[in-house]
Structure 1
Amino acid sequence: MTIPAPQHPERPAGWISTGLSWHDGRALLGAVRGGRVHERAVAPGTEVGWLLGGPRRCTGAWLAGATERTPCPHHAEIAPDGGATQCPACQSVDRGLALARDQILDDGRTYLLYLAWFGEGLLKVGLTAEQRGDSRLLEQGALAYAFTARGGLPAVRRAELTVAASGMARERYKSRLKTDHWWSHGDAPHRRTVLTEARARAHGLLKGHAVELLADRPVVDHVERFGLADGAPEVYREITGLAPGAVIAGTLRPPVGRHLFLDQPDGSGPLLLDTRRLTGWALTPVTGRAPEGLALQERVRPPEPDTQEALF
């Protein structure tokens, strides 16, 4: 006789990481256990240690109109090193993904068009719900930004497409390209000038659009807040892979978007964790443990370009 398999996998035990998010200017590390939610503020100087338990699981979806994440009803496993943090079923109903894929035409909310600066030549155009303030910009790790226009979702989305089509800004950049620019990002006056001039050009493109143009909103700079005034560490090791039984440990620096630098007591240089990689793993607090079981890639500040004129 064959015993039928259960309809859903067994509900995982322990707290499952939901990664890092920003709310009201605060970076919070989240975890869920069933319907319970736990959030911890990311405080620089805090020592942390996590033992990872697997398998990695989908953490559910944000449904339309919901104020909290809905747990994955299937308790589905996801790839340990995949970029996706949700199973296909939860991706299909997640409100944020639907918005990004233009599957929501209007939701009655007011949106802000922004221009964000991630480094020289990396100007991004995007939109965010006005009620979220600058949380989306902080989560993306924008080094500086300027709100540019305001209106309903359809109008702001058309404005976003218009600016992107002009070639002055792109709608997205890969994470690696952003982190490459942490070593050298100019000074605050330069960032402010770039964004002020870009906003003026965008306003020229958006004449006749059904949006309110925002000429007097300040340029906001996050470089000091992210602890990058002197750039990223000269040498650090980026966590590129996790597995069950791995340990992540160290002393926190200020978060940069969804990334965390963790200093090591042996002076070996900090680790860099993209907390999206942490999402879906069961976490057990540990103390006095060194990092182990991690795939690492060394990152080194590139040499300054040689601008000396040739002698001959």
Structure 2
Amino acid sequence: MGWRCAGLRWGGGRPAVGWYGEGRGERSSALVYGQWLAFAGVGARGCLGVRRSGRWTPCPTGAEVPGRAGGGQCAECARLDRSFSVAADTHVADPRPYRVYLAWFGPGLVKVGITAEERGPARLLEQGAVTWSWLGRGPLMAARRTEELLRAALGVPDRIAYGRKRAVRGSLPPAAERAAEVAELHARAGGLAGWPESLERLPCEAVDHAGAFGLDGLPRPRRVLAELADGAVVAGRLAGAAGPDLHLQDGLVVDTRLLAGWELVAVASPEQAVTTAPVREIRPEGDGGQDGLF
């Protein structure tokens, strides 16, 4: 088996494509905005297995994964993955400290969430948060209770569909307006009663990811990859990246969750290559569908 794509990874505030090879381990390919990308799927999309504690356990059945599935796992491996998940409340005994955050993705698109403190801002980059701030830190269950309190009191969700996030990235307000909306919600959150005593409140320090994502001058997203197939090509100049999405200069968005599990080969003469993989149009207001957990 060759190297299979494991999706987009964020390290040190920079995007990279992750790879997994059974018996070989992991590697990554750094991405640079402005570079040409041109690749094609090879063979069939295979299940990556389960990654836990920094290591992959191969899929026991070597199952194939449907082309339109939003991740490189078969149903059984996805179930096993979720059986040890903080997000799914199946790992409530985690002793690590957690942080509660407020994340802004676009006008009116704000969510509250939690992440392990040791991960720093990685979760915000993975979700495509444009501007964000910490709200507090403490034990897992205190962080979870705070998340639920703030979600109900502020009227903000704990998840936003990726389709809605990507649809607004090409027409965002200035950084000052983004930070002001985060600060206003942070102040409202701080004024609420009922915070757990074990959760330390943190001041508002708005962080902006426009530079990391390459959002300045980003073309308006017009189309998104629908699926990959054997021999299907994706090609274009990389303009930016946010969360799991690669934004190409021609307005095509490549959701790298659809690449996970595929073996990919480079296409010769990338500047002359054209996309042949199926795509679908992006409505300006977002596709309205819940196409991912976060």
What is the TM-score with the length of structure 1 in the denominator? 0.83
Deviation string for 1:224-271 (max 9, x for gaps)?
3322234x41464321222111112222222122111233xxxxx242
Q: Does the aligned pair in 2 maintain the 1:106–1:152 contact within 8 Å? A: no
Output the CA distance in 1 between the equivalents of 2:195 and 2:212: 37
User: For 1:83 and 1:195, how far apart are their aligned partners in 2?
Assistant: 29
Aligned-partner Cα distance in 1 for 2:221–2:66: 29
- Return the letter of the residue paired with 1:258: P
Q: 2:154, 2:189 within 8 Å by CA — same for their partners in 1?
A: no
What aligned pairs does 1:101-120 form with structure 2 within 5 A after superposition?
101-120=88-107
Pairing partner for 1:93 from 80, 88, 91: 80
Give the counterpart letter for 1:259 in structure 2. D
Moved more, 113-122 or 280-289: 280-289
| Aligned CA distance change for structure 1 residues 124 and 162 (closer, same or farther; 3 Å) | same
For structure 1, list consecutive stretches of 5 or more residues without a partner in the other structure. 1-12, 264-268, 303-312
**Given the alignment of the two structures, is residue 21 of structure 1 paired with residue 15 of structure 2, yes or no?**
no
For 2:227, the aligned partner's letter is G
2-side partners of 1:88 and 1:239: how far apart? Answer: 22
Which structure 2 segments of 5+ residues have no match? 286-294
- 8 Å CA contact 1:111, 1:152 repeated in 2: yes
Q: Percent identity?
A: 38
The TM-score with structure 2 as length reference comes to 0.88
| 1:235–1:300 CA contact under 8 A, matched in 2 | no
Tell me the CA shift for residue 77 of structure 1.
0.9
Which of 257, 265, 280 is the aligned partner of 2:261? 280
Report the CA distance shift for 1:96/1:186 in structure 2 as closer, same or farther (over 3 A): farther
- With over 3 angstroms needed to count, the CA separation of the structure-2 counterparts of 1:56 and 1:301, relative to structure 1, is same
Higher-Rg structure is: 1
CA distance in structure 2 between the aligned counterparts of 1:229 and 1:103, rounded to whole angstroms = 39
The answer to whether structure 1 residue 150 and structure 2 residue 98 are counterparts is: no
CA distance in 2, matches of 1:179, 1:60: 28
Aligned length: 281
Q: How does 1:49-64 map to 2 (within 5 A)?
A: 49-63=38-52
Residues 15 and 282, structure 1, Cα contact 8 Å, conserved in 2: yes
Judged with a 3 Å threshold, the aligned counterparts in structure 2 of structure 1 residues 26 and 183 are, in CA distance, closer, same or farther, namely closer
Deviations 1:130-183 (A, max 9, x none): 111111101111110001010111110111111112243210011111112213
Alignment of 1:30-49 (within 5 A): 30-36=18-24, 37-49=26-38
